[in-house]
A and B are shown apart, each in its own frame.
Chain A
Amino acid sequence: MTARPSSSGRRRPPAVAAALAVVLPAVLVTACGRAGPVTGSAGRPDSPPRYPAARDVSVPGSSVHTRAVRRGTVRVGVKSDHPFLGFEDPVTGRRYGFDIEIATMIAADLGFPADRIRWQTVPPQARETALAQKDIDYYVAAYTINDERKKRVSFAGPYYVAGQDLLVRAQDTGIRGPGDVRGRRVCSVDGSTPYQRISQARYGARVVGHDSYAHCVQDLITGMVDAVTGDDAILKGYAAQNGRRLRVVGRPFSREPYGIGLAHDEAALRGAVNDALQHHMDNGDWLRAYRATLGRAGGPLPRPPLLRRY
């Protein structure tokens, strides 16, 4: 006996409901959508500083710069999901964050005003390839300088010294440093360096991995985990994004100097970028940019690091 679906009386409603629920968004778009970015959406600094672009800049010996001048635009590789660090508003497509400010400063000193910058979101596994193949001119995205990477790319900077730190709920006074995570649930991004470091036996933490910091932060807010670990620059962005609810512990237990990623053979460009960094560190732009972005998480104001030219 073949089955007669007992919901035969509901023949029409599902199809009608289905059609409606698919057509509705289309109607909404044409009808009553509010334009502009979502208010309160993450990562927008209060009053972003402006940097006057230098004129007639030439960097002899840099093929990347020559090509960029000929093109009229400079291509910068960045991240798009680190609030207040390297962030892209999903609605308007505009970029905000400390890394974005640094990149804009450099572009200005290289002769490119802000509207001549072409931003590209480059996933971490593709950044060395992108630099080597000159798909991007330089890379500013929480990129830690280390000797292993220096074999494939070159670095200008450091422009910020981060360190692995912990993000906790504001009222949780129990965690004051990496020594306090024993037995507590700590979240990080699967496979990342902070994840591997906190998984070491000496910390004794119950480590949970997610595919994004945002998911970790959501779990922290709801109470599924007790702390999120990562570079303090990234964590400060999330703290700033969530008002008074989260705080960064402020006891970094590693040293992550962030550098500007450049192609391996671009020594002249490296010098020019280092000059640009020094210029903006000296004239106060660096501090102003920090205060407008990561500084909103609170905590003591850092000093610009010493550049290491090579």
Chain B
Amino acid sequence: MHVLLDNADLFLEGFAGSVRLTVASTLLALLLGVALAACRVSPVPLLRALSATAVRLLCSTPLTVLFFGVTLGLPVLGLTSLGYFSLAVLTLGAYSGAFLCEALRSGVNTVDTSQAEAGRGLGLSPVQVAWLIVLPQAARTALSPARSIIVTLAKNSALAGGFSVPELFGAEKALLERGYAVGVVFLWVTLAYLLLIALISGVFLVVERRLAVPC
């Protein structure tokens, strides 16, 4: 117990860091996921091919390799003004964005074609059909896999601790350095992640309720 109390500042800083990383990366992942999904279902074959390749590559590369690629590659390209936090957010956002794209795409595929046909029959443009009819229904189906993807993103944010971003894994490393018992530190850090995951699940519950069809 005293591990937590004596090092409350370290724990809080770590927790705040993890939360910051998760929130920022989730936003980027959502943006990228929707954009990539739009490309994947667009009628332009080149867009479909390019986005399919990008998504497949991102899903098949380990996050660790991506992290190294971004933190070592982007500075070489000259983008040195991005701090380590932004680089971590970019990596996590891109990685989870690819998975979100796939989740969204399967969601889109579960929407009955008759819905889109009815929309077209009413004279709506493809963009309107996508935004007003297909996407809300697809989102409802995709909500459950999306929740697990975001939870995974929160857990993956631990990796950023190995790349100079303050968060919970860095806090664990620092505490072990200070000589605290491994088991105790592990338990507290796990509890922190459980809290984070509970928060994310809570947010998704709210969203689910908003999107639910009243019976």
Contacts and interface: CB of A to CB of B under 8 A. Distances in A.
A208 interface: yes
B109 A224 contact: no
Contact of B75 (A14, A209, A211, A224): A224
Interface residues of B, number: 20
A283 interface: no
Given A208-B164, A210-B164, A223-B75, A4 B80 contact: no
Contacts of B48: 6
B109 A190 contact: no
A135 to B, nearest CB: 23
Contact of A223 (B80, B110, B162): B80
A3 B109 contact: yes
B6 interface: no
Contact of B106 (A3, A7, A190, A223): A3
Contacts of B40: 6
A215 B162 CA distance: 12
Interface string A212-232: 000100110011100000000
B142 to A, nearest CB: 11
A1 B75 contact: no
Interface residues of A, number: 20
Nearest to B162: A211
Contacts, number: 37
Q: Which of A4, A10, A224 has the largest count of B CB atoms less than 10 A from its CB?
A: A224
B125 to A, nearest CB: 22
* Interface of chain A: mostly helix, strand, loop or mixed: mixed
Contact of A1 (B41, B52, B84, B112): B112
B52 A6 contact: yes
B140 interface: no
Interface of B: 40-41, 48, 52, 56, 72, 75-76, 80, 84, 105-106, 109-110, 112, 162, 164, 173-174, 177
28 contacts: A1-B110, A2-B109, A3-B106, A3-B109, A3-B110, A4-B109, A6-B40, A6-B41, A6-B48, A6-B105, A7-B56, A10-B52, A14-B56, A190-B173, A191-B174, A191-B177, A208-B84, A209-B164, A210-B164, A211-B162, A219-B75, A222-B75, A222-B76, A222-B80, A223-B75, A223-B80, A224-B75, A224-B80
Interface of A: 1-4, 6-7, 10, 14, 190-191, 208-211, 215, 218-219, 222-224
Q: Which 5 A-B pairs have the closest CB atoms?
A: A222-B75, A3-B106, A3-B109, A223-B80, A224-B75
